[in-house]
Structure 1
Amino acid sequence: MTKQILSPATIDLHAQLTSKEAAIRHTGQILVDQGYVNAGYIDKMLEREAVTSTFMGNYVAIPHGTEEGKKEIKETGISVVTVPDGVDFGGGNIVKVLIGIAGKGDEHLEILSKIAIILSEEVNIDNILEATSKDEIISLFNEVN
């Protein structure tokens, strides 16, 4: 049976993270712990970040692995982490919402498209940051089909 792409187990609200590396590792570790990826995927997420920042603006980063990292993916999944105090992604770019992506094959393109639709509305970013339950996050992501 295929896992849900987003579930309560892949969401962490109100995390306290002090560095970009810690934030990426935490976001990736959720995917590891829930069986979406092998542990090596986290290194590929860090490699991607070293090549180009996954900071998207509006307090959002979307860490994901390199093309080579795809071999570490078992199933498509995303993790959502909120960091109310923010974490510096360099250059004064503060991230408060991290969305980790692991997509099998070309599924990451569809996921990125849906995430882009959600995040194109600043009110949705606010709703993610103000969420008091994981179900609120899931409902927001399920609104886009």
Structure 2
Amino acid sequence: MKEICSAASIVLNSKISERDEAIRAAGKLLVNGGYVSEKYIDLMLARERIASTYMGNHLAIPHGTDGAQSEIITSGISIIQLPDGVDFGGGELAYMVIGIAGKDGTHLDMLGQIAVACMEPDTVELMRRATSKQSIIDALGVAA
């Protein structure tokens, strides 16, 4: 089974300062990892216009719209660490942006795993301050 997150799909210490740019970057990592087609990025941005993917605890989990399944090649996640945060609307700062693409209905399981791992503010803070990609993988408990 293909890993759902690789070191190449993680960016540490990003200086992105705008929400849509962060979503595009998360999508590009998914494309580069072979998880999704290029069109999936547009569907991630469309999903954000419907409702914010900000989850609380300084975490955003952008993903495609309901019709995005055909653009997903295999399940995967991308992770962008933003130590200075990006405003996801209303002053809600995301320090971690985790792009997800779930094939064959696995997106809810992926969302659940990430949500449980990031339920504690200390976990998100640990990821925000992490100096290695492996630290983030370990904190999330994802296969890499």
TM surpasses 0.5: yes
Indicate if the aligned counterparts of 2:53 and 2:60 stay in contact, CA closer than 8 A.
Answer: yes
- Specify the alignment match of 2:88 in structure 1: 89
Shift of 1:64: 0.2
- Superimposed CA distance per residue, residues 104-133 of structure 1 (whole angstroms, 9 cap, x where no aligned partner): 011111111111110111111011111110
Shift of 1:141: 2.1
CA distance in 1, matches of 2:126, 2:17: 23
- Specify the alignment match of 1:37 in structure 2: 36
In the TM superposition, structure 1's runs of 4+ consecutive aligned residues that sit over 6 Å from their partners are: none
CA distance in 2, matches of 1:116, 1:86: 19
Identity of counterpart residues, as a percentage?
45
Matched, 1:47 2:46: yes
Gaps of 5+ in 1: none
TM-score normalized by the length of structure 1: 0.94
CA distance in 2, matches of 1:69, 1:107: 13
Deviates more, 1:132-141 or 1:39-48: 132-141
- Superimposed CA distance per residue, residues 66-119 of structure 1 (whole angstroms, 9 cap, x where no aligned partner): 011111000000011111111111211111110100000111111111111101
Gaps of 5+ in 2: none
1:103 aligned partner, one-letter code: G
TM-score normalized by the length of structure 2: 0.95
CA distance in 1, matches of 2:117, 2:30: 21
Q: How many residues in Structure 1 have an aligned counterpart in Structure 2?
A: 143
